[in-house]
Amino acid sequence: MKENLILGVDVGGSGIKGGIVDTDTGMLLTERYKFATPKPATPAAVAETIKQLIDYFSWDGPVGCGFPSIIRKGVTITAANIDKSWIGEDITLRFEQTCGLPFYVLNDADAAGLAEVTFGAGKGRKGTVMMITIGSGIGTGLFLDGKLLPNSEFGHLFFHNMLAEHYASSSAKDREGLDMETWAKRLNEYLHHLDRLLSVDLYIIGGGISRMFDEFRGFLDVDAAIVPATFQNNAGTIGAAYYARLCRETGE
C-alpha cells in the first residue's frame, strides 16, 4: 500500500464518516461513507462503528480520526456533544485495540482546519485563520501562518448567557426552527464577539451548513475575510488523514 493513502474518519454527533484520502493532494479517493453515530455514543459503541467503516473499505493501514473533544496526549478531556463516558478515555488505545490498526486522533475542527490550510480555502494564507465547523456543536481550529494552535474551544465561549454553540450551531437552528436569516444574524453576532477577542484575518466556515454559504453570507458583516470550506463537510475526514501522515513522518 502506498504511504500517502490513509483512511480518514470524522466522528460527529449524528454521523461517523470516512473515506480513503490521498494525503499528497488532499483528494478523497473513494466516496465518503457514513454510519449513524450510535446512541448512546459510548467508547465501545463508537469504536465498533469505526471498525465497521474499516471493514466497509476493506482497509488495512493507518487511520486518522477527528473527534469532537479536546484531545491531549491521546486522551479525550471533554465530551460536550458525545457520551460523557468519553471523559478521560485513552481514545487512541481504544480504537487501536478494537480495530487492530494504528490510529492518530485529533480534535475534529482542528482536523477540518488542517485540510483547509493545507489544501483548501486557507492554503498559503498568512496571519490568523480560524476554521469554524458548524454542526451539532461549534468547533474551532485556530492557525497562525498555517501553524495550528490545537484544542481551541471558541464554540464554548459564554455568550447570551449560554455556550455560543447552543446559540448559533446548526442544531440550535433546527431545535428552535430558525429561518436562515434569523440564524445567520446569530452567527454574525458570534463572529463579532470572536473578532473583539482575536482579530482574525480569515474565517473558514465548514460543517454541513457551509453548503448553503451563499444563502447566509449576506448577513455577515464582520471586518475579516469569510469563505466557505473548500471541502465542505469532508474537511474533517481529509484533515484527519493528513494529520496521521504528519504524525507518521515526524514520529509523533
Of 23, 37, 49, 69, the one binding ligand BGC (CB under 6 A) is 69
**Shortest distance (Å) from residue 132 CB to ligand BGC:** 9
**Interface stretch with ligand BGC, choices 36-44, 48-56, 131-139, 172-180 (CB under 6 A):** 131-139
What residues have CB less than 8 Å from 206, skipping those under 6 apart? 109, 112, 116, 131, 132, 133, 134, 228, 229, 231, 232, 233, 235, 236
Of 37, 49, 78, 237, the one binding ligand BGC (CB under 6 A) is 78
**Shortest distance (Å) from residue 66 CB to ligand BGC:** 8
**Shortest distance (Å) from residue 241 CB to ligand BGC:** 17
Site for ligand BGC in 187-206 (CB under 6 A): none
**Shortest distance (Å) from residue 3 CB to ligand BGC:** 28
Instruction: Report the distance separating Cα 41 and Cα 22, nearest Å.
Output: 29
Contact indicator for 233, 207 with CB cutoff of 8 Å: yes
Q: What are the distances in angstroms from CA 29 to CA 15, 18, 90, 168, 233? A: 20, 11, 30, 33, 15
**Shortest distance (Å) from residue 81 CB to ligand BGC:** 5
- Quick one: DSSP state of residue 156? G
Q: What is the DSSP string of 2-30?
A: -TTEEEEEEE-SSEEEEEEEETTTTEESS
Site for ligand BGC in 140-179 (CB under 6 A): 153, 155, 165
**Shortest distance (Å) from residue 60 CB to ligand BGC:** 28
25-42 b/e (C-beta count within 10 Å ≥ 16 → b)? ebebeeebbbeebeeebb
Of 43, 137, 206, 239, the one binding ligand BGC (CB under 6 A) is 137
Map residue 179 onto helix, strand or coil: coil
Site for ligand BGC in 87-116 (CB under 6 A): 107-109
Number of residues that bind ligand BGC (CB under 6 A): 16
Q: 59 or 148, CB closer to ligand BGC?
A: 148
- Quick one: DSSP state of residue 37? P
Q: 62 or 137, CB closer to ligand BGC?
A: 137
By CB under 6 A, residue 210 contacts ligand BGC: no
Instruction: Report the distance separating Cα 182 and Cα 169, nearest Å.
Output: 12
**What are the residues binding ligand BGC (CB under 6 A)?**
68-70, 78, 80-81, 107-109, 133, 135, 137, 139, 153, 155, 165
